């Protein structure tokens, strides 16, 4: 008899420290390995890897630190990216391609092209961002596993 699994299959929370460029990309790389192991479609893995990489870099560049929680359900994945930080004054402006407040120093490291938030939105099936000035920002992205 077939039974529809409603339970969570996997959940993991990891922290990102402010300015930790040495570790940048490790979380998205580990997601990629974990999702491949779980047999997730390679196109979905690629989209989630891009979105999570951008989120991870943003935590290091723009915030005082934060966390990323991935939850894999039988039919979708939810990625919640939460930080304490300055918050975003104008989300519409921040979402524009090429808009960046990254410092010269950060740009020298190869970040700050202003494509992170637009890429997160493009690569996810659902994208929600909320921000409070002086408090922090939360981004929730959803990825469908079934076509």
Ligand X SMILES: Nc1ncnc2c1ncn2[C@@H]1O[C@H](COP(=O)(O)OP(=O)(O)O)[C@@H](O)[C@H]1O
Can residue 58 be called a binding residue for Mg ion (CB under 5 A)?
Answer: yes
Q: Which does 88 bind (CB under 5 to 8 A by kind): ligand X, Mg ion, none?
A: ligand X
Q: Which is nearer to ligand X, 76 or 87 (CB)?
A: 87
Listed ranges 8-16, 54-62, 90-98, 131-139: which one lies at the site for Mg ion (CB under 5 A): 54-62
Instruction: Name the minimum Å distance from CB 106 to ligand X.
Output: 8
d(CA 19, CA 59): 8
Q: Which is nearer to Mg ion, 1 or 22 (CB)?
A: 22
Can residue 31 be called a binding residue for ligand X (CB under 6 A)?
Answer: no
Instruction: Name the minimum Å distance from CB 115 to Mg ion.
Output: 7
Instruction: Name the minimum Å distance from CB 113 to Mg ion.
Output: 8
Q: Where does residue 129 rank: exposed (0-12), middle (13-18), buried (19+ CB within 10 A)?
A: middle
Whether residue 48 contacts residue 92, with contact meaning beta carbons closer than 8 Å, is answered with no
User: Interaction with ligand X in 77-96: which residues (CB under 6 A)?
Assistant: 83, 85-86, 88, 94
Q: Which of 28, 52, 124, 137 binds ligand X (CB under 6 A)?
A: 137
Q: Which of 60, 102, 123, 141 binds ligand X (CB under 6 A)?
A: 102
From residue 44, alpha-carbon distances to 15, 49, 68, 70 in Å are: 23, 8, 18, 14
Work out whether the CA dihedral 123, 38, 82, 144 comes out positive or negative: positive
DSSP string covering 67-111: EEEEEE-SSEEEEEEEEESS--S-HHHHTSTT-----HHHHHTT-
């Amino acid at each position: 008899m077939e039974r529809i699994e409603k339970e969570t299959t996997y959940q993991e929370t990891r922290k990102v420290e402010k300015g930790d460029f040495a570790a940048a990309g490790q979380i998205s790389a580990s997601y990629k390995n974990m999702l491949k192991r779980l047999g997730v479609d390679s196109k979905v893995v690629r989209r989630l890897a891009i979105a999570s990489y951008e989120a991870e870099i943003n935590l290091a560049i723009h915030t005082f630190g934060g966390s990323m929680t991935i939850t894999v359900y039988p039919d979708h994945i939810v990625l919640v990216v939460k930080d304490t930080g300055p918050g975003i004054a104008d989300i519409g402006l921040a979402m524009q391609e090429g808009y960046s407040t990254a410092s010269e120093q950060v740009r020298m490291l190869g970040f700050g092209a202003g494509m992170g938030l637009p890429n997160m939105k493009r690569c996810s099936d659902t994208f929600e961002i909320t921000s409070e000035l002086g408090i922090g920002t939360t981004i929730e992205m959803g990825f469908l596993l079934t076509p």
